[in-house]
Structure 1
């Protein structure tokens, strides 16, 4: 069994290139708007001026995972379903797909002087992160990609200004016509899909924060309810986070029994100090500062971890459907920072 969690011969940008091309070729059907900068960089609008949709969101989620993950939407048919529509994710390369590509870790910003108007900020996710390697995470992973094209996803409600595009091109060492940028606001349908599809990535990131050797992680699968988007940005962000923190389920396969036991006990979001309130309310109470929130909260609600060493599977955490129902059902009314039962 390999000692490294990553396969250096795999290029997340090469593997996802066909997905980026499909987004362009099928743009009209996917309700995506395609534009190009004067130098040829492709910009895909999946929720600002364009409508986008669930299918676009699924493809964008697959792009984010560097072509190393399966993402699907399933209608639940159970007598008492958790939620009508569920996002399901699987990857046999969980560390590379989730941390080496999907994780939103590249900070991209510009001042209002640089943009000639409003300041800009977005976190970049997707395979082009591995070309730039600007995050210390890539040093820890021991992975850098080398490819002549790349794609990056920006979760923001405006198109990136030229100064930010130029920075991405420089840091990725790409020709302008070899870069594809996808923009998906959280309050859009596609944006909601691609964020909820991070359910396994959230588990991998929490595993990394816990200091677990990432070479232990062999397979990852997960599911989370797909809520309808909220029109207001904080509410929309709250819904996508709540879907994972209170409705996300993940199954990991790991090498050793000790790691399986530890992750089952420590991974679930219920270990966090701030657990039990809607995320939008938590975010508002900390004056919109992510770094004040207990980092242990960013995890799936429920986990199963199987040990290849012993064959045993350990379980931890639980779903809180009552909290999600109170936030998403039609009997709720908006209030500052979120929604609550009327």
Structure 2
């Protein structure tokens, strides 16, 4: 059950100042802001606008509902020059209640009048709609007069999808902002790699760990250059987390539960571990549901048990694999 403080937190209200900063700095961050036919505000962070890594960091903070810190650090001694680092004192609400890309939004060819559309919505507006079973587990719903949804797509959403988002979020058009970030863009790649902590929280939920016992979390992952196309970009962002992602969770509960979480969390527990995600995805016939779910996890987990002061570690990075995929010597 959420604490009284958590029940009063609104991820949409907390994200609004961060969204306003993105809008105010649109030119500097190389994003484009416009209104669609309904009056919904649309931020293009990689379709026609070039976007930027800095825009991706800003979008990641918005995605976390104002409850996470996201920044860059330089760590060439770790085998890659640039890393994304994330921290939250409210990791469950920030990552699962807001950042997680869990809202399925689809439209048929008939509904769009052309090409079918599919996207997974992420960001604080998910908590206004509450359409995912996950929100029942979290026991959280948000109420706000404005919301922001992030879509990792290569084209603007069709009218039928925008209408659904407005209806499900109970928002007027002027109260909704859609941020569009193709994965094969600077902003898109950055905001996906910034999900490294969220991936760990989702895995903990899948492992049936009591989420109320997760007190704080921090994480980092190497930031690759965007892929040449969507498929390559998806492979690179997944590989960054699966083979380079490092997560540290502060937890309560029993000592054995903490130890078991550390042991079961890393991606090495998957039968598919050890190959590039692009190859795994291809062998699965480009069907996510044929990939072993245990793969979707960070490379390394540290779990600190607060009552005992003990920390458990499991997993390991594979920077040699990542350098082989991403790096060419000049």
TM-score (norm 1): 0.94
User: 1:193-230, CA deviations, whole angstroms, 9 ceiling, x for partnerless residues?
Assistant: 00000000000000000011101100000000000011
Tell me which residue corresponds to 1:320. Answer: 318
Q: Distance in 1 between matches of 2:4 and 2:242?
A: 25
Gaps of 5+ in 1: 333-342
**Aligned partners of 2:29 and 2:55 also within 8 Å:** yes
**Aligned partners of 2:102 and 2:122 also within 8 Å:** yes
What is the aligned-residue RMSD (CA, Å)? 1.4
The alignment status of 1:157 with 2:154, answered yes or no, reads yes
Q: Secondary structure at the match of 1:325?
A: helix
**Aligned partners of 2:79 and 2:323 also within 8 Å:** no
**Aligned partners of 1:6 and 1:96 also within 8 Å:** no
The alignment status of 1:23 with 2:18, answered yes or no, reads no
Tell me which residue corresponds to 1:59. Answer: 58
Q: Distance in 1 between matches of 2:13 and 2:2?
A: 24
Q: Secondary structure at the match of 2:6?
A: coil
TM-score (norm 2): 0.97
Structure 1 runs (4+) greater than 2 angstroms displaced: 2-6
Tell me which residue corresponds to 2:303. Answer: 305
Q: Secondary structure at the match of 2:317?
A: coil
Tell me which residue corresponds to 2:287. Answer: 289
- The structure richer in helix per residue is 2
2:142 to 117, 121, 145: 145
Task: Quote the offset at 1:5 in angstroms.
Answer: 10
Aligned residues: 329
Gaps of 5+ in 2: none
**Aligned partners of 2:2 and 2:139 also within 8 Å:** no
Q: Distance in 1 between matches of 2:258 and 2:321?
A: 28
2:174 to 177, 193, 203: 177
Tell me which residue corresponds to 2:190. Answer: 193
Against the structure 1 CA distance between its residues 6 and 139, is the aligned structure 2 distance closer, same or farther, given a 3 Å change threshold?
A: farther
Tell me which residue corresponds to 2:44. Answer: 45
Alignment of 1:1-342 (within 5 A): 4=3, 7-76=6-75, 80-256=77-253, 257-330=255-328
Q: Secondary structure at the match of 1:246?
A: helix
Q: Secondary structure at the match of 2:78?
A: coil
User: 1:295-334, CA deviations, whole angstroms, 9 ceiling, x for partnerless residues?
Assistant: 00000000110001110000000000111011001269xx
Q: Distance in 1 between matches of 2:287 and 2:37?
A: 37
User: 1:77-120, CA deviations, whole angstroms, 9 ceiling, x for partnerless residues?
Assistant: 5xx33310000000000100000000000000111111111111
Against the structure 1 CA distance between its residues 129 and 39, is the aligned structure 2 distance closer, same or farther, given a 3 Å change threshold?
A: same
Q: Secondary structure at the match of 1:48?
A: coil
Q: Secondary structure at the match of 1:163?
A: helix
Task: Quote the offset at 1:38 in angstroms.
Answer: 3.1
**Aligned partners of 2:247 and 2:302 also within 8 Å:** yes
User: 1:45-65, CA deviations, whole angstroms, 9 ceiling, x for partnerless residues?
Assistant: 000101000110000000000
Against the structure 1 CA distance between its residues 118 and 265, is the aligned structure 2 distance closer, same or farther, given a 3 Å change threshold?
A: same
Task: Quote the offset at 1:24 in angstroms.
Answer: 1.4
